[in-house]
Structure 1
């Protein structure tokens, strides 16, 4: 199965997603869940599905992503034909960047041609979900369709945030329509599977020969190239058999929690992280045979200690603390702290997400904040309580989440 499938992971977004978190990194490299990067979920799907020929197509502010791929994902054995390789634009025929997902595939045609795989799986590296791609490949082979589109059930016809799919009685796609709304997320209602409202997940399996034929047939610039489902596959529905594959089936080796989130906005990103703190989170990160692989620095254990000035015990409640974090006389409640965060004496962190190396000064108070990597919060600073003041200094989302980046106190 591994040798028969080549995977192209699209990680070329120009900041589309939870801005301003994508100001300095591509969406696939955005931190998630206290220790991961977004792309880890897609790559973990490849790993556990036994599909280990992976090309990650990169472009927009890709240094952070390339570093993460090097540090976290240099685990495959090239002697066995396994690889995870970053592929920025090679400009073999023209001095051009990737103009969109289909153009990115076109520019790497030579990598597809010389690979022995008979099918090509194209996936979005900017979504959070767990899926057995091997089961998708089996379903694709059984159907003998040239294209299979993974789809998920959504609660109603008016809630789709991705391309909407219409099916016939044989699960063939008869129409692909634009989304009806933007900026939502996340989990399909498990009871909605019978409602016959589906949307694309950004996962497409092509027969290799058919894909190469389409690369020849569709001229550069002949169609818009922003979304594979809408711009490339939709015009083919009337000409070809395009199969819809239902996400969250009983077949496959991953618990069918049916969770999928594209992190389209800051609010969607914040909600997806906060959901991990529920007693029963909607996505199971603790399934022993489907762990999410990532890079972990060699940091000391997280700990709480009394504050040096007050002697107050450091405490945390219903929170995630990564390695190297120290709560020194401060308090953390319902929050996610990445590695090496410091919460100083008397500081309070509530319902917030603090990236690597953040320091919260003595007596500071944060509420419903996302704080960028290595930001130092001054002592006694108050953030998340005065929307007018927060908007003047930081980015404030539609739902009132404060995103704190560098530059305010530098």
Structure 2
């Protein structure tokens, strides 16, 4: 069996997710009530029986480090298993990571020490379920030097992804990084084959190509530099995500913007969501504090604690308020006569009496005063909060209202 080491890139600034990334790295942003974004990739690794994992961090990583330390100390060091966080160390030069390829290059000594046959490179900021073993088996079967996972996306989204062109063998023969005029899928003029940022390299080839790229004047990025160069001289293959999807019905989301983050969270409150968090065959693991169960209280005329089409977390109480199509993280309190609709409330949020919240993301520990309205007058909201073009209001954590 091939020895596989995983390098999980978790150092992104997440500027398009601001203000949720004001004080935390993008992979550490809470998601789906009790998770962090990085939990989905890490759960995929554990469920795929991949137990040699390095997490490369950089930007505002304190909360991410704490989360990994408290929630992911689950492997057996006696069996040589590990999840190890490697902060950016400027080991090779004085610069921070200049790109995705540079992040791996600056930790090349780790690969030289571990001597794996294959290196699985992942991103810590996507929401999906995938069995990486199937991709590894495909890589070995094809005798590939590099295999890139792909998913069909609408042509209109081409400027957000690397776009691939593939021959009948599955070999990648063209790669465009975020093109305005992409090559579409044959027979599907509105579809593109988008890179998911999931790569499997033969270690020897990876080290060689990283060293070559480090000498060049480039952006030191896999999509912009490494993959296009390798297509010309190495065996580079495409792996269809649907072959490795684990009951996620083809679900994969890049939650790199506020709108995408909001939509992916709202997907979870569907009656039958594409991404099933309740699948015992492919559990999504999370660090959870020992809070008491959630509850709804008060049942009297005009004052009913209720939640409909929503996700409630432990420690949350709906005391005579109304929650509809929303996601509540741990220790959220919704007081009497308050209304929460189509919203995401992160841990510790307190919603005062008669308050109304609609289509909003409220970050940690925000105290909403009595009778306050958020999401009903966007011009007024924009004076104090972040409001997206689609009308989502983001209230940053710890703000005094």
TM-score, length of structure 2 as denominator length: 0.94
Whether 2:223 is the aligned partner of 1:229: answer yes
Aligned alpha-carbon RMSD (Å): 2.0
Cα contact 2:364–2:398 (8 A) shared by 1:
no
Distance in 1 between the 2:398 and 2:62 partners?
21
Q: Quote how far apart the aligned CAs of 1:15 are.
A: 2.4
Q: 5+ residue gaps in structure 1? A: 182-191
- Residue number among 334, 359, 373 corresponding to 1:368 in the alignment: 359
Partner of 2:253: 261
Partner of 1:92: 91
Cα contact 1:307–1:346 (8 A) shared by 2:
no
Q: 5+ residue gaps in structure 2? A: 181-186
- Residue number among 156, 159, 172 corresponding to 1:158 in the alignment: 156
Distance in 2 between the 1:246 and 1:292 partners?
22
Partner of 2:238: 244
Q: What is the SS of the residue equivalent to 2:150?
A: strand
Matches within 5 A, 1:179-190: 179-180=178-179
Matches within 5 A, 1:13-162: 13-155=12-154, 157-160=155-158, 161-162=160-161
CA deviations on 1:118-174 (whole Å, 9 max, x unpaired) are 11011111001111111110000001110000001124x333331000011111111
TM-score, length of structure 1 as denominator length: 0.92
CA deviations on 1:272-321 (whole Å, 9 max, x unpaired) are 1111111111212222110100101100010111289x982311111100
Q: Quote how far apart the aligned CAs of 1:210 are.
A: 0.6
Distance 1:408 1:212, change over 3 A: closer
Whether 2:200 is the aligned partner of 1:205: answer yes
Cα contact 1:314–1:331 (8 A) shared by 2:
yes
Q: What is the SS of the residue equivalent to 2:83?
A: strand
Number of residue pairs matched?
A: 394
Q: Quote how far apart the aligned CAs of 1:71 are.
A: 1.1
Q: Quote how far apart the aligned CAs of 1:194 are.
A: 11
Q: Quote how far apart the aligned CAs of 1:19 are.
A: 1.9
Distance in 2 between the 1:216 and 1:352 partners?
47
CA deviations on 1:18-45 (whole Å, 9 max, x unpaired) are 2221111111011111111000010011
Cα contact 1:103–1:220 (8 A) shared by 2:
no
Q: Quote how far apart the aligned CAs of 1:180 are.
A: 4.6
Q: Quote how far apart the aligned CAs of 1:257 are.
A: 1.3
Q: What is the SS of the residue equivalent to 1:210?
A: helix
Distance in 1 between the 2:295 and 2:388 partners?
32
Partner of 1:284: 276
